[in-house]
Amino acid sequence: MAKLLVTSCLRHALAGGLLALAAVAPAAGATWYVVQDLGTLPGDTDAIATGINSQGDVVGWSNGPGGYRGFVYTAAGGMVALPGLPDRPRAFPRKINDAGDIAGTADAGGTDLGHAVRWRGGIAQDLGTLPTGPYSAAWGINGAGDVVGESSAQVNGINVVHAVLYTDALGLVDLTPTSDGAAAHGINDAGQIAGYRLAGGAYHAFRWANGSFLDLGVLPGMAHSFGYAIEPGGGVAGHSTSASGNSEHILRYTDSAGLQDLGGTGEHNTAFGINASGTVVGALGQSAARAFVYTDQAGLQNLNDLIDQSRGWLLRVAYDINTAGQIVGYGYNNFTGSAHAVLLTPTTKRPPECSYHCLRSRAVDLKGHLAGQEAMVDGKVTVKDENRAPVPDAMVAALWTLPDGSTQNHYAWTNAKGIAKFNTSGGQGTYTLEVLGIIKTFYTFNPKRSVLSGSISVP
């Protein structure tokens, strides 16, 4: 009974997994992604990538025993550390333009909330704060090097946060002098800015241009909205939240379509990036976050369904996307046990079913003999990896089909030689042993490269 229960559940789980994959898999010619591990700065353990430009240069930060450090990654130079400010050594770069200018924040750790920074030629420039404000942060930058973000200020002795714009000509400018609880997160080359501010007791996403605000409103049934990214044509991405906070959906605004609900379930769904094609990236969920990509062709997709899953990656958050469709963020790798910055490059070639730590049944061998009037049949399933090395301690679920048409579910574990043994008995005739699935932690069953059944006739 235990064998029947375990393998029956396994069979249903395998079938369910294949059906789920079929439901989300793109059509032929659709987009898949190759994951590149950008690693960390030397000596560090974890890193995340937050911004990418059209050349594929990437920024983010790395963390280890020495604390947080900013980085810029290029294909030619790899990952290089970015300095903080003299009095705020921790660097958190967020976005990079095509000229290599970078926007982010630097702080001293502890209770220091930091100052907005622009890096130009690798040199950090403190962009300051609004008058009497102890804190500022930079979130976005355009091709001219104009930076947007937020800064605290004191109003009637109370610290409030306003959206700000920094330009070389004007310095730091308050975009929302009459609206507290505001922030600017993205700016395009046309000078349009995406952000959010309090409006009538609720947060509303906005698009700012030439001194005028366009209130983007909220999705139906929601109370708040937030704008986090803007593309060259003025399209804005973000999310909208219910009054209770227990429902949140991805939003996209375009002049042609207005405010669109891109979906999402549960309490946390956030868009962080959008490119000129209107493709949106971000995260679904919070503690169990999964990176997503949204396209008009395929809808909302979990990026983990679009990669070679056997490489061990769990993509948690996608922070930015460039004009070529390259995506940056971070993922946890089950094999290394670390969270690293990652770069995802689009491809029309579907990832292999498995390329690493694969479980393949290389042979299904059967032997039978008569013991009086009863047939005795022994079966062996040989399991090897992609390098043809035997895989011990893998559980093989199998199905016997007997001459009378009845079936029996069995399971067995592979020995040191990668062999799982099965046996059955019955009347004379044809016996078939079918492999339903193979399981081992951190391994992936590879049925397309496997021998899945064997038969024998016992006279």
Q: Which two tokens stand for residue 208?
A: 């700012």
For residue 59, give the nearest of 99, 100, 89, 88 by alpha carbon.
100
3-class SS at 339? strand
Provide the pLDDT for residue 25. Answer: 46
Select from 288, 317, 347 the last residue of a domain. Answer: 347
Provide the pLDDT for residue 132. Answer: 81
Provide the pLDDT for residue 27. Answer: 53
Q: Are 212 and 193 in contact (CB under 8 A)?
A: no
Q: Which two tokens stand for residue 349?
A: 């070639």
On whether both 40 and 158 belong to a single domain, the answer is yes
Task: Inform me whether the pLDDT recorded for 337 exceeds 70.
Answer: yes
Q: Say how far apart CA 44 and CA 68 lie, in whole Å.
A: 9
Provide the pLDDT for residue 365. Answer: 98
On whether both 246 and 373 belong to a single domain, the answer is no
Provide the pLDDT for residue 286. Answer: 78
Provide the pLDDT for residue 159. Answer: 84
Give the mean model confidence (pLDDT) for residues 120-148.
96
pLDDT in tens, 217-253: 999 999 999 999 999 999 999 999 999 999 999 999 9
On whether both 152 and 199 belong to a single domain, the answer is yes
On whether both 323 and 416 belong to a single domain, the answer is no
- Under the banding of pLDDT at 50, 70 and 90, the label for residue 121 is very high
- Cβ neighbours of residue 9 closer than 8 Å, sequence gap 6 or more: none
Q: Are 37 and 338 in contact (CB under 8 A)?
A: no
Give the mean model confidence (pLDDT) for residues 101-120.
97
> What DSSP element (H or E) covers 241?
strand 236-241
Q: Say how far apart CA 8 and CA 245 lie, in whole Å.
A: 40
Amino acid at 275: N
Domain extent, residue 183, equals 27-347
Task: State the DSSP string of 134-190.
Answer: --EEEEEE-TT--EEEEEEEEETTEEEEEEEEEETTTEEEES-TT-SS-EEEEE-TT
On whether both 320 and 417 belong to a single domain, the answer is no
pLDDT in tens, 386-398: 999 999 999 999 9
User: Which residues, in sequence order, are bridge partners of residue 456?
Assistant: 431
Task: Inform me whether the pLDDT recorded for 301 exceeds 50.
Answer: yes
Question: What secondary structure, in 3-state letters, does 347-381 show?
Answer: ECCCCCCCCCCEEEEEEEEEEEEEECCEEEEEEEE
Is 22 a member of any domain? no
Task: State the DSSP string of 59-106.
Answer: EEEEEETTEEEEEEEETTTEEEEE--BTTB-EEEEEEE-TTS-EEEEE
Q: Say how far apart CA 255 and CA 259 lie, in whole Å.
A: 9
CATH of the domain at 382: 2.60.40.1930
Is 123 a member of any domain? yes
3-class SS at 10? helix
Q: Are 395 and 413 in contact (CB under 8 A)?
A: yes
On whether both 331 and 413 belong to a single domain, the answer is no
User: What is the residue-averaged pLDDT of the chain?
Assistant: 92
On whether both 263 and 335 belong to a single domain, the answer is yes
On whether both 379 and 278 belong to a single domain, the answer is no
Where does residue 62 rank: exposed (0-12), middle (13-18), buried (19+ CB within 10 A)? buried
On whether both 132 and 193 belong to a single domain, the answer is yes
pLDDT in tens, 188-197: 999 999 999 9
Task: Inform me whether the pLDDT recorded for 381 exceeds 60.
Answer: yes
Give the mean model confidence (pLDDT) for residues 147-157.
89
On whether both 93 and 203 belong to a single domain, the answer is yes
Task: End-to-end CA distance of the chain: give it in Å, rounded.
Answer: 30
Q: Say how far apart CA 374 and CA 428 lie, in whole Å.
A: 7
The sign of the dihedral angle between the CA atoms of 85, 87, 90, 95 is negative
pLDDT in tens, 17-57: 333 333 344 455 589 999 999 999 999 999 999 999 999 99
Select from 290, 318, 347 the last residue of a domain. Answer: 347
For residue 388, give the nearest of 429, 359, 345 by alpha carbon.
359
Going from the C-alpha of 69 to that of each of 14, 53, 54, 113, the distances in angstroms are 43, 20, 23, 16
On whether both 291 and 399 belong to a single domain, the answer is no
On whether both 180 and 299 belong to a single domain, the answer is yes
For tokens 């046990």, the residue is 337
pTM of the predicted model, to two decimals? 0.87
